[in-house]
Amino acid sequence: MDARGAAPASCCACHCDDEMRKTRILIVDDQPLFRHGVCWALRAEPSFEVVGEAASGRQALHLAHELEPHLILCDVQLPDGSGVDVAHTLKAQLPAAAVVLLADQEDDEQLFAAVSVGAAGFFLKSTDPEPLVDGLRRVARGETLIDEHTIERPLVASRVLREFRQLADQGPEIQPLLVPLSTREIEILDHIARGHSNKRIARALAISEQTVKNHITSILRKLAVNDRTHAVVFALRQGWIRVGSA
């Protein structure tokens, strides 16, 4: 363990074919045994490389800038503060990095907090290794699991809608795009603003779930934003969608 109290960056890194593009992962948890267990589980995926471990939020922020991970797996409760606050800072400072939050138990407050900071996923620490690894594979491909699995919970959805309304009234107006979104993309954003999951959107529009994901990828690219929440706020400010009747 180094002077910062964090485990060495190479402590459990996978040494795979250098030609394969690996997803660089930083694990943030104050329990060494849990960190090592996650590291062991991730070894099952050859495209993953654990590049570092941190035992606190401060260490996580330092190592994230030093190691430039693609994915950060972070506990929601850290000895020096909230993992949600760490996720919020990381998303602001390293927008290309995906953050996945871990919690001992699931509750609506934590789920809403994860949604509001743009986390890509939310898992219980009791999750079996296989679904965790599979979920991280999907996050590494650019998917946002948290919207699919949690956004339809009534309390979370209602709070997200209130947040949308508040954010839409704040900040400077964004200039209209040179290339506007398609009618179908606006439809999809409208469904997202109502708290609908990808599966529910696909059912409502009579298209496949993969087509919905493709549209969302296109929306994020056109709007130059990192997640669905910011895409909806952008559309609200432009007047393309309304949440008052949602």
CATH classification of the domain holding 197: 1.10.10.10
Q: Tell whether 11 is covered by a domain.
A: no
* pLDDT band of 54, cuts 50, 70, 90: very high
Q: Are 166 and 145 in a shared domain?
A: no
When pLDDT is averaged across residues 29-49 and rounded to a whole number, the result is: 93
Examine the pLDDT at 2 and tell me if it is beyond 50. Answer: no
Pure H helices in the chain: 32-42, 57-67, 83-93, 108-116, 129-140, 145-150, 154-168, 183-193, 198-205, 209-223, 228-238
- Which of 150, 169, 199 finishes a domain? 150
Q: Are 118 and 186 in a shared domain?
A: no
Domain count, the chain: 2
What percentage of the chain exceeds 70 in pLDDT? 72
3-state secondary structure of 91: helix
Q: Are 54 and 141 in a shared domain?
A: yes
Q: Tell whether 175 is covered by a domain.
A: yes
Reported as a single tens digit per residue, the pLDDT across 135-172 is 999 888 877 776 544 555 555 555 555 555 555 455 44
Residue range of the domain that includes 118: 23-150
91: domain CATH number? 3.40.50.2300
Q: Tell whether 6 is covered by a domain.
A: no
Task: Point out which residues pair with 24 in neighbouring strands.
Answer: 49
Task: Point out which residues pair with 71 in neighbouring strands.
Answer: 25, 98
CA-based nearest residue to 192, from 217, 221, 161, 167: 161
Q: Are 169 and 221 in a shared domain?
A: yes
CA gap 27, 82 in Å, rounded: 15
Reported as a single tens digit per residue, the pLDDT across 95-116 is 889 899 999 887 667 777 777 6
Q: Are 29 and 116 in a shared domain?
A: yes
- Report, in angstroms and rounded to the nearest whole number, the Rg of the chain calculated over CA atoms: 18
